[in-house]
Chains A and B, each alone.
Chain A
Amino acid sequence: MKLSVNGKEHDVSVSDDMPLLWVLRDVLGLTGTKFGCGMAQCGACTVLVDGQPVRSCVRPAAAVEGRAVTTIEGLSLQGDHPVQRAWAEVDVVQCGYCQSGQILAAAALLQAKPKPSDADVDAALSGNLCRCGTYQRIRSAVHRAAELMEG
């Protein structure tokens, strides 16, 4: 199976029904994407596929053949995507486990809606759970990222 991940082509030998998350973490060694619930309930495994958010724990890898997969490792070369810069500025992270999913979900939101309202942030990110409860800082950081993207 041929997968395009973070701009690189990979030829992996896995069963067709292996979840994309397993391939990313266990086969390609991209462990920035996290396993949380295994049933698309928490958002920790969020990646982008052709720029759209996808829960990689419930998406068979075969379903994304020929499409561009972006993980937290590939969102920017230097970790300087506006969302990542905003996250650092606002000091969002506590334990950090959910944050790669949060950041990719935020990037997808800002792609779809460059200047989101609080309600837009809530609607887009309610599926990304944070057991540390950093939600207020996440919301602030999304707005800050919007400012950074606007220049």
Chain B
Amino acid sequence: MKRIGNPWVLAGMLAGIVLLPKGVDSQTPRTAALAAFDTIQTVLQHPRCQNCHIPGNAPLQLDAGLVHTQNVQRGPAGKGAPGLPCSTCHGVTNPPASYGPNTPPGAPNWSLPSPEHKMVFIGLSKADLCATIKDPKRNGNRNLAALLEHVSHDKLVLWGWDPGVGRAPVSVPHDAFVASFKTWMAGGAPCPAGGEAKSARLR
């Protein structure tokens, strides 16, 4: 067994645990990060997000995640088939509420991930979801800072919390989601065990 050389260090560590003020989180950053990823998973696998983060080419729609009507396809750049871009029906904002609950919602750059970077969320285990979003080959060449920027400010992401009439917003408040993302990053962005475990190294 490896011997701990300095008893004061050990004593200090124990004291730090015992004397921690009540209410202060005693989790290590890594433990907190893994817990925060539970929240991230809840968001990413909400219909508002996962309906377009799919392995195939037909996006899903509505809270039930039904295959998009009209044979809508991802297309060569993620913006729909030639001649039927997403923008045919989806504007840059939600239509006025007076248009009713069955009209297409809208946000800037309405699209799916490109075929080269599908960034699949749907149906993945927690570990595989984590590996996917960290892998620049699958996430649009984003490092962690770019991912944080994406989830914090991208207007298409933010649409998930303002999806218009007849659609449930993401179930976790956006500020709580971003806070969880930061906690996950602060703890080294660890992935839960059991997945691919070998995502490409982030820059």
A residues with CB within 8 A of B: 17, 19, 38-41, 46, 52-55, 58-60, 63, 105-106, 108-113, 116, 120, 122-127
- With CB as the reference atom, state the residue of chain B lying closest to A113: B82
Residues of B within 8 A of A127 (CB): 70-72, 84, 88-89
User: Within residues 117 to 150 of chain B, which ones have a CB less than 8 A from any CB in chain A?
Assistant: none
CB distance from B38 to the nearest CB of A (A): 37
Q: A17-B96, A63-B91 are in contact. Are A109 and B103 (CB under 8 A)?
A: no
CB distance from B174 to the nearest CB of A (A): 25
Interface residues on B, range: 20 to 34
Q: A40 is contacted by which of B83, B92, B104 (Cβ under 8 Å)?
A: B104
Q: A17 is contacted by which of B98, B100, B102 (Cβ under 8 Å)?
A: B98
- Asked whether B95 lies within 8 Å of A60 as measured between CB atoms, the reply is yes
Q: A53 is contacted by which of B73, B88, B93, B95 (Cβ under 8 Å)?
A: B88
| B8 interface residue (CB < 8 Å to A) | no
Q: B71 is contacted by which of A60, A106, A122 (Cβ under 8 Å)?
A: A122
Q: A58 is contacted by which of B69, B72, B82, B104 (Cβ under 8 Å)?
A: B104
- Asked whether B91 lies within 8 Å of A126 as measured between CB atoms, the reply is no
CB distance from B96 to the nearest CB of A (A): 4
**30 cross-chain CB contacts under 8 A:** A17-B96, A39-B99, A40-B89, A41-B70, A41-B102, A46-B88, A52-B87, A53-B85, A53-B88, A54-B87, A55-B88, A58-B91, A58-B99, A58-B103, A59-B91, A60-B95, A63-B92, A105-B84, A108-B84, A109-B82, A110-B83, A112-B82, A116-B82, A120-B83, A123-B71, A123-B84, A127-B70, A127-B71, A127-B72, A127-B88
Residues of B within 8 A of A116 (CB): 82-83
Cα–Cα distance between A123 and B92 once the two chains are bound (Å)? 23
- Asked whether B83 lies within 8 Å of A39 as measured between CB atoms, the reply is no
- Asked whether A52 lies within 8 Å of B85 as measured between CB atoms, the reply is yes
- With CB as the reference atom, state the residue of chain A lying closest to B84: A124
CB distance from A48 to the nearest CB of B (A): 10
- Asked whether A126 lies within 8 Å of B70 as measured between CB atoms, the reply is yes
CB distance from A37 to the nearest CB of B (A): 9
Cα–Cα distance between A127 and B80 once the two chains are bound (Å)? 12
Residues of A within 8 A of B197 (CB): none
CB distance from A118 to the nearest CB of B (A): 13
Most chain B Cβ neighbours within 10 Å, of A38, A120, A124: A124
Most chain A Cβ neighbours within 10 Å, of B83, B85, B102: B83
Q: B83 is contacted by which of A41, A53, A58 (Cβ under 8 Å)?
A: A53
Cα–Cα distance between A148 and B18 once the two chains are bound (Å)? 84
Cα–Cα distance between A113 and B81 once the two chains are bound (Å)? 10
Cα–Cα distance between A109 and B92 once the two chains are bound (Å)? 22
Cα–Cα distance between A109 and B80 once the two chains are bound (Å)? 12
Q: B96 is contacted by which of A52, A60, A106, A109 (Cβ under 8 Å)?
A: A60
Residues of A within 8 A of B98 (CB): 17
CB distance from A21 to the nearest CB of B (A): 11
Q: A40-B104, A58-B99 are in contact. Are A124 and B89 (CB under 8 A)?
A: no
Q: A60-B96, A63-B93 are in contact. List 19 more A-B contacts (CB 8 A).
A: A17-B98, A40-B88, A52-B85, A53-B83, A54-B87, A54-B88, A55-B104, A58-B91, A63-B91, A105-B84, A109-B83, A111-B83, A112-B83, A116-B82, A123-B71, A123-B73, A124-B83, A126-B70, A127-B88
